[in-house]
Amino acid sequence: MKFSNPFRFWPERIYSVPTLRGLFPLFITMAAGYFSFFRGSGPHQWLVITMSFFTVIHLLESSKTMRSLRISPDPDATIFAGVPSKVKLIATPQNSISPLTVDAEFSRPGIFSYPAKRVDLFAPSGLFRYWRYFEFNEQAVVLPNPRDHGVAPGFDLSGSTGDPDELHPIRDPRLIALRDEKIFQKTGKSLLRARSQSDERPLWKLDWDALRHLSEKEACEQISFWIREIERSPTKATFLAFVEVPFFMGTEIRSLQELRQFKTCLAKFAGDHHVS
């Protein structure tokens, strides 16, 4: 992705112009300065100097927010190749600016740089407008386009008792409780109620062996689909994934930080193998 920044040599510089509302007091100050210095008395000149001083102070104070502003892309953002995405930007200090996003659209998976972001702000008085270009050090993790090739993720429940195959065909975690209720009504047995509430954590099995009948491209697309399903799941914060894939050293994913590492490895693997 190419991005042309006309101010690339001064990425941290703050630019400012007066707004239409700000042109009026600026014109009055300039006109008053002209008449006072060429036709006015000493007190008039000092008055204009004082007005100009306060204008400069206002300009510097109003740009302070822009100069101290730091923004970075959401580290947990999931970007898929070929799918336009808007990534949330996290501002520091918080609540210092309205919510911002950056457009991220990449044609293939891999690790790429985010495009620069122009941020505009107005002074509290509305007399000046500021803008600044942010170039991010963080990199975008772009996953293959998620496509379901009909391979079940091996959804199970950790700590459960009974036959897990009874719940295996269920793809959507939100349907587990409904299916289990039907099993309970039919057999008097509940797979969900048999385990302790403290150990109630969904388990996703992401097994590379189950994808061997697919091409490498399709296998990566299927894993991307599973990741999207995990992140859409209502149990996203308490999930557990058991993984056996060639590009990831770990065997378990227990937190969003570990999921972030898994997505980075998948993006690198797909990018290195030119999986589009």
- Cis ω on the peptide bond leading into residue 6 (within 30° of 0)? no
The answer to whether residue 276 scores a pLDDT higher than 80 is no
Residue 134 per-residue DSSP state: E
Cα torsion for 168, 170, 174, 175, to the nearest 10°? -110
Give the pLDDT confidence of 30-42 residue by residue, as tens digits. 777 777 767 666 7
pTM: 0.67
Percent of the chain with pLDDT over 90: 25
Give the pLDDT confidence of 131-187 residue by residue, as tens digits. 888 889 899 999 999 999 988 876 544 444 344 444 444 444 554 555 555 555 555
Angle at 209 between CA 205 and CA 212, to 5 degrees: 130
Q: What 3-state class would DSSP assign to 217?
A: helix
Residue identified by tokens 């300065």 is 33
Is residue 132 a contact partner of residue 117, using CB atoms and an 8 Å limit?
no
Give the pLDDT confidence of 103-137 residue by residue, as tens digits. 999 999 999 999 989 888 777 677 778 888 888 98
pLDDT at res. 262: 94
